[in-house]
């Protein structure tokens, strides 16, 4: 016969492994899903950081490359300029020398005029270049852009820096036959102030002249700027990448939008944010170089943008802001592609997990069914063994209960003998006295009444004692409300005589508490503990009082009853075994070893409480004692 619980247990064995695999698979799938999202977030962050760093490095490289290109162009163009003006002066010197050699026998003034006329209309460097001739005395002989000044002595003329130009040229030519020289002079096209000029001068010894030419720095730099800006305008990276150039005065020099060029980026823009951006970019460039993040609402292709990162570098000589940038929203496609890759990987992993989980679930289900059949056979055999063991155990329990009952009855009979001895002696003595006085004819009515009253009182005491013992041995197991105080009094009444005769004092310290439980069984446990304490106290030979303390303490949901003596305590090596069945420290003729075992069974199983024992040291009446302390804890409502 298979019981319902057994059927359920076998079903658990059959289906639990498969169910467990399914649950585990779901957990793995959930974990994979969470891990996929976490991986994507990490990948997204990684891609973002790598993208930003990569593009930062890229735009910085581009700007640095353009900056280096400008510096090289400036250097190269300056060398070209030097070469061109030197070559021009050398040619002019050859012309002058050739004229001189062909006409040196003629009037010197005529030769001078021929040379000056030959060089007056020569122009080079896109018409900007011309020749000038000075005598070493400082007198100007040729100044094509302003012939009115020809014949003027400039020996004491100073430029805007306070330099005596002609004097300094003479000094330079006294050391070298030809040389480059920089000075400040009025540009014919911009005569508002003197501007820096780079020139080349060469001695013409036949007439103690020097011939020279020069180029205004800003003119040749303007030519370089136009060349560089043309180059920059042709640079474009991808759909929206370009290089922009802005002056420190916020004028656009180069931009992907041609309509911006030549306009003020601040005054011609209504967007407050853009004006702020331009100012910040200029400030960064003035301090060298750096990155700057900002939002550019409309990209060159017309699409809305989320954020742009630019790198700018300042060209201090020209007061240029050179920069380029990239848009972070171009990152979206990269992230989207990576997300699709991760989702595909997750889908493949999910399919593999489901396949493995299904395979394992089937294998485990078949295995579980097979093993459940084996276990079913084992259960049947095990049940038979359990039944046999229960029968044997029941016999043993019955024997223990009978032994406990017999031991209790023996104790009670001894208590009855002690309780009855005095009243029986009183009845016997009174009856003998009545008989003797009757025989001697001295029996009076008063003595008769008093004697009969005494006999009646003793008989009533004997009757009450019989009732107390009969109540103690009731087998009623119904839980009823009873007073702990009254139950303790009943227990003490049953053992009073023996404790009194042994000079053992019992001290109670308790408040009355009512609980719902088994009163008689509680009394039996108390008597068992008191009898054990009595036996130990009787063994001891000491001058101090023999005392047993009973304390009752109220708790929130339970009551605690402690019973301690001053017999010196239980040896530590046997303390853990005192509740074991058949364990006793008494002689075989004096104890069975089931009193405390049955007490524990009663408290735990019948009364749903707890009982334990410990050795305790305490002080009473300024005397230190040590003894065993039994603690019983019972629920208030049960």
Q: Which residues span the domain enclosing 485?
A: 474-635
The alpha carbon dihedral of 230, 236, 240, 245 has a sign of negative
Instruction: Round the average pLDDT of the chain to a whole number and report it.
Output: 79
Contact 303, 285 (CB under 8 A): no
Contact 289, 316 (CB under 8 A): no
Q: Residue 14: its pLDDT value, please?
A: 59
Number of neighbours of residue 425 by Cβ within 10 angstroms:
11
Does a structural domain hold residue 45?
A: no
Does a structural domain hold residue 5?
A: no
273-323 pLDDT, tens digit per residue, is 677 888 888 899 899 999 988 876 555 555 555 678 889 999 888 889 999
Give exposure, 227-251, as e/b (b: 16+ Cβ within 10 Å).
ebeeebbeeeeeebbbbbbbbbebb
Q: What does the longest C-alpha to C-alpha distance in the chain come to?
A: 211
Q: Is pTM, for the whole model, over 0.75?
A: no
CA gap 289, 61 in Å, rounded = 12
Into how many domains does the chain fold?
Answer: 2
Find residue 293's DSSP bridge partners.
309
41-95 pLDDT, tens digit per residue, is 777 677 777 778 888 888 888 888 888 888 888 777 778 888 889 999 999 999 9
Does a structural domain hold residue 364?
A: no
Does a structural domain hold residue 614?
A: yes
Does a structural domain hold residue 133?
A: no
Does a structural domain hold residue 135?
A: no
Q: Which two tokens stand for residue 131?
A: 């020749």
CATH of the domain at 233: 3.30.450.20
Q: Which of 331, 363, 391 is a domain's end point?
A: 331
DSSP state of 627: E
Contact 233, 219 (CB under 8 A): no
Q: Which two tokens stand for residue 317?
A: 């000589």
CA gap 638, 636 in Å, rounded = 6
Does a structural domain hold residue 258?
A: yes
| Per-residue pLDDT band at 462 (split at 50, 70, 90) | low
> Residue with structure tokens 């400008």?
70
Q: How do 504-509 and 546-554 pair as beta strands?
A: parallel
Does a structural domain hold residue 562?
A: yes
Q: Residue 7: its pLDDT value, please?
A: 64
Beta strands in 74-217 (DSSP E): 131-135, 140-142, 178-187, 190-204, 209-216
CATH of the domain at 541: 3.30.565.10
Contact 342, 37 (CB under 8 A): no
Q: Which of 266, 300, 331 is a domain's end point?
A: 331
| Per-residue pLDDT band at 397 (split at 50, 70, 90) | low
The alpha carbon dihedral of 521, 527, 530, 531 has a sign of negative
Contact 633, 552 (CB under 8 A): no
Q: Which of 316, 331, 346 is a domain's end point?
A: 331
Q: Which two tokens stand for residue 123?
A: 């122009």
> Helix or strand or coil: residue 314?
strand
Question: Is the predicted pLDDT of residue 461 greater than 70, yes or no?
Answer: no
Concatenated DSSP letters for 325-343? Answer: EEEGGGHHHHHHHHHHHHH
CA gap 235, 244 in Å, rounded = 10
Closest CA to 343 of 51, 44, 49, 52: 44
């Amino acid at each position: 016969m298979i019981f319902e619980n057994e059927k359920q247990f076998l079903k658990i064995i059959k289906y639990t492994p498969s169910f467990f695999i399914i649950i585990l698979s779901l957990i793995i799938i959930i974990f994979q899903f969470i891990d996929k999202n976490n991986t994507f977030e990490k990948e997204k962050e990684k891609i973002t950081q790598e993208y930003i760093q990569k593009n930062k490095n890229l735009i910085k490289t581009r700007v640095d490359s353009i900056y280096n290109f400008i510096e090289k162009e400036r250097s190269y163009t300056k060398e070209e300029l030097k070469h061109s003006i030197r070559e021009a002066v050398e040619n002019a010197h050859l012309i002058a020398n050739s004229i001189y050699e062909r006409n040196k026998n003629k009037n010197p003034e005529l030769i001078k005029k021929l040379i000056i006329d030959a060089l007056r209309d020569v122009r080079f460097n896109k018409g900007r270049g011309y020749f000038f001739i000075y005598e070493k005395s400082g007198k100007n002989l040729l100044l094509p852009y302003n012939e009115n000044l020809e014949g003027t002595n400039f020996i004491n003329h100073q430029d805007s820096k306070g330099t005596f130009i002609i004097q300094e040229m003479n000094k330079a030519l006294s050391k070298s036959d030809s040389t480059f020289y920089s000075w400040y002079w009025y540009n014919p096209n911009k005569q508002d102030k003197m501007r820096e000029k780079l020139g080349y001068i060469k001695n013409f010894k036949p007439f103690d002249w020097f011939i020279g030419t020069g180029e205004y720095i800003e003119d040749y730099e303007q030519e370089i700027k136009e060349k560089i800006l043309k180059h920059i305008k042709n640079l474009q990276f991808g759909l929206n990448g370009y290089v922009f150039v802005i002056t420190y005065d916020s004028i656009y020099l180069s931009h992907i939008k041609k309509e911006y060029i030549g306009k003020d980026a601040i005054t011609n823009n209504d967007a407050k944010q853009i004006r702020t951006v331009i100012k910040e970019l200029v400030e960064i460039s003035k301090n060298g170089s750096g990155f700057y993040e900002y939002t550019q609402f409309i990209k060159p292709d017309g699409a809305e943008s989320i954020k742009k990162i630019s790198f700018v570098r300042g060209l201090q000589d020209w007061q240029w802001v050179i920069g380029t940038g990239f848009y972070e929203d171009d990152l979206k496609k990269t992230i989207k592609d990576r997300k699709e890759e991760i989702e595909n990987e997750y889908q493949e992993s999910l399919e593999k997990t489901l396949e493995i989980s299904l395979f394992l679930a089937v294998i485990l289900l078949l295995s579980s069914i097979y093993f459940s059949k084996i276990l079913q056979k084992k259960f049947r055999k095990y049940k038979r063994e359990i039944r046999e063991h229960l029968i044997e155990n029941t016999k043993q329990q019955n024997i223990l209960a009978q032994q406990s009952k017999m031991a209790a009855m023996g104790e009670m009979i001894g208590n009855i003998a002690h309780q009855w001895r005095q009243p029986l002696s009183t009845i016997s003595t009174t009856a003998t006295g009545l008989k003797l006085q009757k025989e001697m004819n001295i029996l009076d009515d008063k003595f008769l009444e008093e004697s009969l009253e005494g006999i009646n009182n003793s008989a009533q005491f004997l009757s009450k004692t019989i009732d107390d013992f009969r109540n103690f041995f009731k087998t009623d197991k119904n839980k009823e409300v009873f007073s702990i105080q009254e139950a303790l009094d009943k227990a003490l009444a049953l053992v009073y005589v023996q404790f009194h005769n042994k000079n053992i004092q019992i001290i109670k310290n308790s408040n009355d508490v009512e609980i719902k439980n088994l009163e008689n069984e509680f009394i039996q446990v108390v008597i068992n503990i008191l009898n054990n304490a009595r036996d130990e106290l009787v063994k001891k030979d000491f001058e101090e009082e023999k005392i047993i303390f009973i304390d009752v303490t109220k708790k929130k949901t339970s009551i605690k009853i402690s019973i301690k003596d001053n017999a010196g305590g239980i040896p530590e090596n046997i303390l853990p075994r005192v509740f074991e069945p058949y364990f006793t420290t008494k002689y075989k003729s004096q104890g069975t070893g089931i009193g405390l075992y049955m007490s524990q069974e009663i408290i735990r199983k019948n009364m749903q409480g707890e009982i334990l024992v410990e050795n305790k040291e305490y002080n009473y009446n300024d005397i230190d004692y040590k003894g065993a302390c039994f603690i019983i804890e019972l629920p208030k409502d049960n």
